[in-house]
Amino acid sequence: MGVALSITAFPVLARILAELKLLTTEVGRMAMSAAAVNDVAAWILLALAVALSGSNNSPVVSLWVFLSGCVFVICLTLILPPFFKWMACRCHDGEPVEEVYICAILAVVLAAGFITDAIGIHAMFGAFVVGVLFPKEGPFAHALVEKVEDLVSGLFLPLYFASSGLKTNVATIQGLQSWGLLALVIFTACFGKILGTVVVSLFCKVPLREALALGFLMNTKGLVELIVLNIGKDRKVLNDQTFAIMVLMALFTTFITTPVVLAVYKPARKRKVDYKYRTIERKNPDTQLRILACFHSARNIPSMINLLEASRGVKKREGLSVYALHLMELSERSSAILMVHKARKNGFPSGIRAGTPVVIMLLWHLRLSNN
């Protein structure tokens, strides 16, 4: 229960921040970084809890499971990175990734889950370790995400949540004592997480409102907590009533996050600056005119070029400087939400890849002269 109460749901937090338009704010960045560290720590604590909660109470068995898990992680750390690097070197930008590589990665994930399950740790821990060691950049990583994410997020994840809902029997919460226990669990979860986050934030000289918002954001629960609760229920550590109480606590703490953050944290809006020039008219017609052109796809480029040709005029000696911005829709994918935190090494936005048509790349910094 301690692991379940201390978890911060990283995917749920990312979606909440995206809905509140706080992903790029200081609070959003701190919350995402802290949630990522919290998520890794939760998986480690989960592995320890599973190792110590076996049916055999012998400490020797628990120690064997723990040491075997450590050896497993060390072996994967030494073997998998060179293997993944070898695959990534054979996948180039703009070229389709061979299906055999995707199948090999999925086979590695299944094998890691099988080994951890045989050791005595849950199978999800092995898959998590493989995901941590997998490279996050490059065409190979993008191809794997495109192949797997829709299937997992659109099919497997909803089925897992539905399965957890079927296991939740709210009718077991009966009587004043049960509802009092539910209130106590909710209070403990909120008080411990929010107070701890606020105290540490104030110690780091974070303003009070931002510290409160960060505390409520860190109190979100989601998939990892359901995994912990399901494991506890399968191992007979949690009964039906305790399982239902913990699930309701997770729902309550997640539902209150958005309205409370909206009430507590209001980012200071920048005042509108009165620009000196509100039109394209200039006192000196020889100065260079700069235009930011936004397009969504390659179909918008011909009409945009015609508009730019008509806008450059005939008397401007310095010509027209055009900066093109490729607009991409932020979808509901977790990878798309996290895209705002990534920067391309070549200086282009993260949405523009090497396979982008040449005309789009030329529009990135196009200078039209009067000649």
Per-residue pLDDT of the chain (371 residues; tens, 9 = 90+): 677 777 887 778 888 888 888 877 888 888 888 888 887 887 777 777 777 765 555 677 778 888 888 899 899 999 998 988 888 888 777 677 788 888 888 899 999 989 988 887 878 888 888 988 888 777 788 788 878 877 887 788 888 888 888 888 888 888 888 888 888 988 888 888 888 888 988 888 888 888 888 888 888 887 778 888 888 887 777 888 888 888 888 888 888 888 888 888 876 554 444 444 455 555 566 677 777 888 777 777 788 888 777 776 666 555 677 787 777 665 555 555 555 555 444 444 444 444 444 344 444 444 444 44
Contacts of 182 (CB under 8 A, 6+ apart): 173, 245, 248, 249
Evaluate the CA torsion angle 100, 116, 150, 361 in order and state its sign. negative
User: Domain of 230?
Assistant: 2-264
Q: What is the pLDDT of residue 229?
A: 83
Do 83 and 47 lie in one domain? The reply is yes
Question: Are 114 and 219 contained in the same domain?
Answer: yes
β 320-326/289-295 pair status? parallel
Helix and strand numbers (H, E) in the chain are 16, 3
Give the separation between CA 247 and CA 163, rounded to whole angstroms.
13
User: Which of 198, 231, 264 is the last residue before a domain boundary?
Assistant: 264
Report the distance separating Cα 30 and Cα 304, nearest Å.
39
Which pLDDT does position 78 carry in this prediction? 92
188 & 72 share domain: yes
Spell out the residues 6+ positions from residue 10 whose beta carbon is closer than 8 angstroms to its own: 32, 35, 36, 38, 39, 222, 224
**Do 160 and 63 belong together in one domain?**
yes
Six-digit token pair at 214? 């960060």
Please choose, from the candidates 2, 78, 10, 8, the residue with its C-alpha nearest in 3D space to the C-alpha of residue 337.
10
Q: Taken in order 181, 183, 184, 188, is the CA torsion positive or negative?
A: positive
Quote the CA–CA distance of 318 and 367 in Å, as a whole number: 10
Residue 341 within any structural domain of the chain: yes
Instruction: Look at residue 276 and tell me if it is in a domain.
Output: no
The per-residue pLDDT for 171 is: 85
Q: Show which of 206, 231, 264 is a domain's final residue.
A: 264
Number of separate domains in the chain: 2
Single out the residue in 231, 248, 264 at which a domain terminates: 264
Q: Is residue 28 part of a domain?
A: yes
In the prediction, which pLDDT does 137 show? 76
Here the tokens at position 57 are: 């109470």
Same domain, yes or no: 102 and 39: yes
Same domain, 244 and 306: no
Burial class of residue 232, CB neighbours in 10 A (0-12, 13-18, 19+): buried
Which pLDDT belongs to residue 237? 78
Dihedral of the alpha carbons of 58, 64, 67, 73, in degrees to the nearest 10: -120
Q: Is residue 281 part of a domain?
A: no
Residue 270 lies in a domain: no
pLDDT at position 111: 92
Whole-number pLDDT of residue 345: 42
Looking at the fold, whether 211 and 308 belong to one and the same domain comes out as: no
pTM of the complete model: 0.66
Rounded CA-CA distance 174/177 in Å is 8
Q: Are residues 112 and 256 in the same domain?
A: yes
308 and 231 in a single domain? The answer is no
In a domain, 252, yes or no: yes
Phi, psi for residue 283 in degrees, rounded to 5: -70, -35
Residue pair 87/104 in contact by the 8 Å Cβ criterion: yes
Is the same domain home to 247 and 308? no
Residue 272 forms part of a structural domain: no
Instruction: Please list the residues that pair with 288 across neighbouring strands.
Output: none
Query: Is residue 322 helix, strand or coil?
Result: strand
Same domain, 343 and 220: no
User: Pairing between strand 320-326 and 365-368?
Assistant: antiparallel
What does the pLDDT read at residue 370? 42
Residue 359 lies in a domain: yes
Q: Whole-angstrom Cα distance, residue 113 to residue 135?
A: 19
Residues 239 and 311 in one domain: no
Give me the residue label for tokens 């909803």: 158
Residue 148 CA to residue 104 CA, distance in Å, equals 13
- Token pair recorded at residue 18: 């995206």
pLDDT given at position 190: 85
